[in-house]
Amino acid sequence: MKTNHWRELVAEWRSLLTDGIHWRDDLKAALTVACIALPMALAIALASDVPPAVGLITAIVASIACAVFGGTQVGISGPAAAMAILIAEVVEKHGLTGLAIVGLGCGLLQFLSGTFGLGSIARFIPFPVVAGFTAGIGAIIFIGQLPRALGLPSPDESHVLSVIVHLREMLQETHPATLALTLGTLSIAFVLPVYFPKWPAALVAVIIPTLVVVGLDVHADTLGTLTHAWPQLQQLPDRGAWLELLEATLVAYALASFETLMSASAIDKLSKTSRTNFDQELVGQGLSNIVVALVGGMPATSVIARSSLNIHAGAKTRFAAIAHGLILLAVVVLGAPLIARIPVAVVVGILLSIALRMFHPREFLGFWERSRMDALAYGLTFLTIVFVDLVAGVQAGCVAALVIAILRMGQIRTQLKVFPESAILELKGSLNSLAAAQMDRARTELSDDALKQGLIIDLAKVTSIDASGASHLIELIKSLRERQKKVAVRGINNETRSALHAFDLNGDLAQSLALTESEVADILHADERLLFGALRYRREVKPRYQELFNRLAEGQKPHTLFIACSDSRIDPNLITTSDPGELFFVRNVGNIIPRCGADALPAEGAAIEFAVGILEVREIIVCGHSGCGAIKEVLAGNIFSDQKAAEFPHVAKWLADVRSLKDELPANVSIQQAAELNVLNQIEKLKTYPVVQEKLRQGKIRIHPWYFDIAHGELYEWDFVKGLFVPVGTATRPGTAERISAGIQYQIP
Ligand code: ZN
């Protein structure tokens, strides 16, 4: 149970009542909306086959109740055209008592679903289904009202086909005055907003024809005296009817909730301040529908057109909707005799204008252009509603929604980006049999011009690949290769790898698969690997670092001197996730530090003095690694043979420094132990530099022996207490500076 929604609502009302209501703005909006809501309520009552009073009561009570309890501040609730056909069916079969039962059930379901937090469920219904539904209702209302518009008697059945047959039979008996009245109203309702957008078109479209009828004393059927009957809930329907009522209740619940949540989303988009609480809005609509049913109204929803009018007219708070309800009440009480004289044909004209606005042929064309699937869902919903019935239409829409969701889930999306160093075709989603059309489209997009520098097919966002998906991909690669284009496939994960290998019978794919960026570059630009990389850096990486580089241009302040082997497999920035500007490097073969003063051209000594003395780094790391070539050479001893020393004099001379290490080792030391010992030995030599000694004495520097295991990609640090290398982050680490000063003891296990 979400009691916090109620707490929020109470808090909102408290602040509204203390901080004051925007009287002027809210009243102006209330008046504007009431001018439209009055003819709307009459028209929708007509479409719903209920007396005019039922429409008016609904407009009054629903707007006030929803404003008090609902989850949106500036929405307007009331009778909705979308509900009219359903209501007319219920009234036809079960009378106003049946309608009250449906209204109560619908309200209760809405209240419960809002209370249990199902407020956003209706947002999963796809837009084409909603649009097809709305257009279908519009078409039914329009065709259903044609007999009235022509002044003909009502057909026996309200189904669209029956109405059309009825119209064909009765067309000669068209009543010209009624038709003129309807067309006049319809024209005003449509033309007025074009020239006078600020006028309440619907109200004017009611008033002018009514005045003409009264003034010229034309005979026309009028709405007549407003009579209201309380629902007779004691006259319960018989057992057979309950099942039909239950079905109608569920449809009413689905429709009303959906219309409401759609409207609430629209309100949030239109209003800068409104943030709808969807659950609370359903709770409010539910309570409102219960009250409305008890006073003899019909199920209501939040309505988009009146809500947006409210927002455009400047409504600021919930008070606008309440005032709108009160104004309607006053008009009904004081103006009942005037309302009674409104001709039915005029209300029909208003209704036709509402129905026409629900029907947008251009919308269907838009769906058709963008996605055939959407257009199909729209058409299916529309046709089923119009030619079968409302319930079947809602069901068809739901099935269409489900099918769309499943197809979308199984759909691949492709995106082609062309860059100076390569084009990238990014695939997203599931690569399966449904992907054929999309892959064909992608193939036509791949022009020779776009593929000048080769194509990378990026599968990183592909969730699964099946047999047909793999064959589509292989077909694409083969066709590109036939066009002499270079193709690299990257971003393969564990799920997609096995599928691709299984279906790649001729190895077409294998020669395009790239595990690393360098393999991508090898396939596309074998001769210009770093140029390719530099171009990608400029496009993908540089933007992220631009600000850092701007700052670093003023000077460097690295925190660490990192001493490592020249080995290509050691990437200090990668294994420490550090950025430019953080590490000051000394790299050489075997990560060796010559003893202070021992080197005639002291490159390492200069770097150490610069880092420790001038840049004042706080940490020094000496990082050895597994499989170090320098250590291997020293252990084997070949490099010091006369022949090798003559061939590679610099290597021999350089490594002679390490050789002293070997002399101190037990005979059976392994390459790993030698590499670890080498690290510790370099630290002893590091301490021969006065600048290091001084900082150690002041406690301003810490030295860390590290070791990188290439095969496992794992980093180890020296544990000064245990006297061995342990996984980084697990060492016991008190007082490293003192221990460094005291000297490191390495025990050969
Ligand atoms: Zn090495």
- Residue 540 pLDDT class (50, 70, 90 cuts): confident
The Å distance, Cα 447 to ligand 1 centre, comes to 47
How does strand 702-709 pair with strand 714-719? antiparallel
Report which of residues 438 and 285 the model is more confident about. Answer: 285
Q: How far is the CA of 589 from the centre of ligand 1 (A)?
A: 6
- Summarize pLDDT for 696-707 with one digit per residue, the tens: 989 899 999 999
- Tell me the average pLDDT across 735-744: 61
Instruction: Compute the distance from residue 567 Cα to the ligand 1 centre, in Å.
Output: 5
Pairwise CA distance, residues 144 & 139, whole Å: 8
The Å distance, Cα 668 to ligand 1 centre, comes to 20
Residue of 262, 331, 284 whose CA lies nearest to 67: 284
Q: Is pLDDT of 618 > 90? A: yes
- Report the DSSP beta bridge partners of residue 490: 458
What pLDDT score does 691 carry? 95
* Residue 28 alpha carbon to ligand 1 centre in Å: 82
Tell me the CA–centroid distance for residue 602 and ligand 1, in Å.
20
Mean pLDDT of 323-352: 88
CB atoms within 10 A of CB 268: 17
**Which residues are within 8 A (CB) of 741 and not within 5 positions of it... i.e. 6 or more apart?**
687, 696, 697
522 CA → ligand 1 middle, Å: 26
Q: How far is CA 198 from the centre of its chain?
A: 37
pLDDT at 153: 83
Residues measured by CB to lie within 5 Å of ligand 1, the ion: 565, 567, 628
Cα of 714 to ligand 1 centre, how many Å? 16
- Mean pLDDT value across residues 168-196: 87
Rounded CA separation 200/220 (Å): 24
How remote is the CA of residue 568 from the centroid of ligand 1, in Å?
9
Banded model confidence at residue 1, pLDDT cuts 50, 70, 90: very low
What's the CA-to-centroid distance between 656 and ligand 1, angstroms? Answer: 15
Containing 78, the helix (H) or strand (E) segment is strand 77-78
Average pLDDT over all residues of the chain: 85
Amino acid (one-letter) located at 515: L
What one-letter code names the amino acid at 634? V
The rounded Å distance from CA 649 to ligand 1 centre is 18
Specify whether the CB–CB gap between 186 and 180 falls below 8 A: no
| Of 52-56, 157-161, 272-276, 698-702, the least confident | 272-276
Question: For 130-149, b where at least 16 C-beta lie within 10 A, e where not — what string?
Answer: bbbbbbbbbbbbbbbbbbbb
Tokens 């989850």 locate to: 71
Which sequence positions are flagged as catalytic?
565, 567, 569, 625, 628
User: Ligand 1 centre and the CA of 738: distance in Å?
Assistant: 28
Q: How far is the CA of 615 from the centre of ligand 1 (A)?
A: 26
CA of 343 to the centre of ligand 1 (A): 98
- Please tell me the predicted confidence (pLDDT) of residue 739: 63
Average pLDDT on 187-201 reads: 85
Q: How far is the CA of 626 from the centre of ligand 1 (A)?
A: 8
What is the per-residue pLDDT for 20? 67
H helix runs in 436-516, sequence order: 436-445, 467-482, 494-503
What per-residue confidence (pLDDT) applies to 573? 94
pLDDT at 737: 58
Cβ-Cβ contacts under 8 Å for 360 (sequence gap 6 or more): 131, 135
- For 703-726, what is the mean pLDDT? 91
* Mean pLDDT value of segment 520-546: 84
Q: Taking residues 99-122, report their average pLDDT.
A: 86
Q: Looking at residue 585, what is its pLDDT? A: 96
Distance 659 CA to ligand 1 centre (A): 15
Ligand 1 mean position, distance from CA 674 (Å): 12
Is the per-residue pLDDT at 74 higher than 80?
Answer: yes
Res. 368: pLDDT tops 70: yes
Decide if pLDDT at 369 tops 90: no
| Backbone angle region of 315, left / alpha / beta, with phi > 0 → left and psi within -120 to 50 → alpha | beta
Q: Is the pLDDT of residue 66 over 50?
A: yes
| Cα(164)–Cα(167) distance, integer angstroms | 5
**Which residue, among 711, 709, 710, 730, has the nearest Cα to 720 in the 3D structure?**
730
Strand partners, 78: 301
pLDDT tens digits, one per residue of 642-659: 888 899 988 888 888 776
pLDDT above 80: residue 271: no
DSSP-assigned beta bridge partners for residue 707: 624, 716
600 to 264, 604, 606: CA distances (angstroms) = 81, 11, 12
Burial of residue 97 (number of CB atoms within 10 Å: 0-12, 13-18, 19+)? buried
> Contact 479/511 with Cβ under 8 angstroms?
no
Query: Rounded mean pLDDT of 93-119?
Result: 89
Compute the distance from residue 625 Cα to the ligand 1 centre, in Å. Answer: 6
Q: How far is the CA of 580 from the centre of ligand 1 (A)?
A: 23
- How far does residue 657's CA lie from ligand 1's centre (Å)? 14
Distance CA 582, CA 619 (A): 11
Q: Which two tokens stand for residue 422?
A: 């390569």
Residue 36's contacts (CB-CB under 8 Å, 6 or more residues apart) are 200, 202, 203, 305, 306, 309
528 Cα–ligand 1 center, Å:
27
Q: How far is the CA of 717 from the centre of ligand 1 (A)?
A: 17
Between CA 746 and CA 641 the distance in angstroms is: 29
pLDDT at residue 363, as a whole number: 77
Pick from 137, 146, 194: which is nearest to 166 by CA?
A: 146
